[in-house]
Chains A and B, each alone.
Chain A
């Protein structure tokens, strides 16, 4: 079955760039997603990338996809304290009816 893995924790200083990494196993995934979860809240979609793309940029967010290595990353430029949260990557299955989530990366931004 599908498996999505992320590192547990990342700490950066305010103003630096953050890079959150994710690996997945389902080579037939067509869409990959990044979600953000703030304390005590549900998940919020940040961005997504279609599998035929290598890169997608959206303001401070850059998503890189390496299909050969099944590696997905999220770069946050000029990281702010408000970016402190848990970030989840997720892949959509081939049938298009389920998402498989990674375990989440807790990003801590120090002032």
Chain B
């Protein structure tokens, strides 16, 4: 199993550009989520999905879109990048959502800089 993979590892965008951060998992997990990590602020949930065709907003969804057409893939789209979206983005998945002590498996992250 590759686990949770994310591409690209690094990306630099200009203000106003759009892009898609890719996330894929090969563990047949129903629950997938996107977080952003900013210094001293821990991780904040952007969007999550409890299964194919179902997505919902997290704590900081503005400026981001997601879709879940398959169990494996959960792309994050930045519609019009802003410097405030400079961050490290993590995708995570788990088999039982956040039930009990089920473990979320995290990808290696995408470091995004918006100039």
A residues in contact (CB < 8 Å) with B:
4, 8, 31, 33, 40-45, 48, 50, 88, 90, 92, 96-104
A101 partner, pick from B44, B48, B97, beta carbons under 8 A: B44
Residue contact A45 to B104, C-beta cutoff 8 Å: yes
Residue contact A101 to B42, C-beta cutoff 8 Å: yes
- Complex Cα distance, B41 from A100, in Å, reads 11
Residues in A neighbouring B98, C-beta threshold 8 A? 31, 92, 96-99
A96 partner, pick from B97, B103, B107, beta carbons under 8 A: B97
Residue contact A96 to B99, C-beta cutoff 8 Å: yes
- B: number of interface residues (CB 8 Å): 26
B40's nearest neighbour on chain A, judged by CB, is A103
- Complex Cα distance, B33 from A43, in Å, reads 13
A42 partner, pick from B50, B100, B101, B106, beta carbons under 8 A: B106
B residues in contact (CB < 8 Å) with A:
4, 35, 40-45, 48, 50, 56, 58-59, 90, 92, 97-101, 103-104, 106-109
Residue contact B106 to A101, C-beta cutoff 8 Å: no
Residues in B neighbouring A104, C-beta threshold 8 A? 40, 42
Residues in A neighbouring B48, C-beta threshold 8 A? 97-98
Residues in B neighbouring A48, C-beta threshold 8 A? 101
Residue contact B44 to A43, C-beta cutoff 8 Å: no
A88 partner, pick from B43, B50, B58, beta carbons under 8 A: B43
Residue contact B41 to A42, C-beta cutoff 8 Å: no
The 7 closest A-B pairs by CB, nearest first: A42-B106, A101-B42, A48-B101, A101-B43, A45-B103, A103-B42, A43-B106
A8 partner, pick from B40, B101, B107, beta carbons under 8 A: B40
Residues in A neighbouring B4, C-beta threshold 8 A? 42
